[in-house]
Chains A and B, each alone.
Chain A
């Protein structure tokens, strides 16, 4: 179907709050990735799903970050007790299979005040 979509496009929250970021991958893509990008830098890997399971979550910075993909399609990245340092653009990508081209969504711009 259409490309990768992410909601919301922008999120402003206060320090200490909980946020959820959603990613809708391209239909049929089994692999889904979350990255985080700070200003002037390349994206930084957070977590990779193959189907419903997290195949690699080594990039999650701490236990405040958690992601799920319960039905092997839509994924939600959850951040508890947000901190100002969490402010960044959160990017989601999907690929048909691992090692194939990753297609990116437009990102969610998170600002923690």
Chain B
């Protein structure tokens, strides 16, 4: 069974720190991986999409890396701000999953002013 795991479940850091969120998946045969942000009571906002042929993607203070062989992705957030507080979800498109995304449970991030 294909699974996606995110550790830690929750993280609290002071404003200004750089931080890393982790995502691991059980099958290296993927076609892409996406990182999403979800604010309380809100929908999902796509942050970064990494295709299977790519190693990383960057958008502003965010950088996502992908290592298929080890089944890992990281989301790096530089110079964190209170507005970054949200739940971050990793979703993986596995080759044999017919384009459905398999999701981690998310990491709840709190940035303390």
Mark out the residues of chain B between 42 and 89 whose CB falls within 8 Å of any chain A CB in the assembled complex: 42-46, 49, 89
A-B CB pair tally, cutoff 8 Å: 61
Q: Known interface pairs A45-B101, A99-B93. Does A91 touch B44 (Cβ–Cβ under 8 Å)?
A: yes
Considering the chains assembled together, what is the distance between the CA atoms of A94 and B102 in angstroms?
16
Considering the chains assembled together, what is the distance between the CA atoms of A93 and B106 in angstroms?
18
Contact of A99 among B46, B99, B104 (CB under 8 A): B99
For residue A4, give the distance in angstroms from its CB to the closest CB of chain B. 8
For residue B89, give the distance in angstroms from its CB to the closest CB of chain A. 6
- A104 x B105 contact (CB < 8 A): no
**Chain B interface mostly:** strand
Q: Known interface pairs A48-B98, A48-B99, A55-B98. Does A42 touch B106 (Cβ–Cβ under 8 Å)?
A: yes
Contacts of B102 in A (CB 8 A): 45
For residue B12, give the distance in angstroms from its CB to the closest CB of chain A. 17
For residue A89, give the distance in angstroms from its CB to the closest CB of chain B. 9
Contacts of A48 in B (CB 8 A): 98-100
Asked if A101 is at the interface (CB within 8 A of a chain B CB), the reply is: yes
Asked if A25 is at the interface (CB within 8 A of a chain B CB), the reply is: no
Mark out the residues of chain B between 3 and 55 whose CB falls within 8 Å of any chain A CB in the assembled complex: 4, 31-32, 34, 36, 42-46, 49
- B100 x A59 contact (CB < 8 A): yes
Contacts of B4 in A (CB 8 A): 42
For residue A12, give the distance in angstroms from its CB to the closest CB of chain B. 16
Interface string of B96-113 (1 = CB under 8 A from A): 001111111110000000
Contact of B43 among A45, A55, A98, A104 (CB under 8 A): A104
Considering the chains assembled together, what is the distance between the CA atoms of A32 and B57 in angstroms?
25
Considering the chains assembled together, what is the distance between the CA atoms of A33 and B34 in angstroms?
15
Contact of A105 among B43, B98, B100, B101 (CB under 8 A): B43
Asked if A41 is at the interface (CB within 8 A of a chain B CB), the reply is: yes
For residue A107, give the distance in angstroms from its CB to the closest CB of chain B. 5
Contacts of A31 in B (CB 8 A): 99
List residues of B whose CB falls within 8 A of some A CB. 4, 31-32, 34, 36, 42-46, 49, 89, 91, 93, 98-106
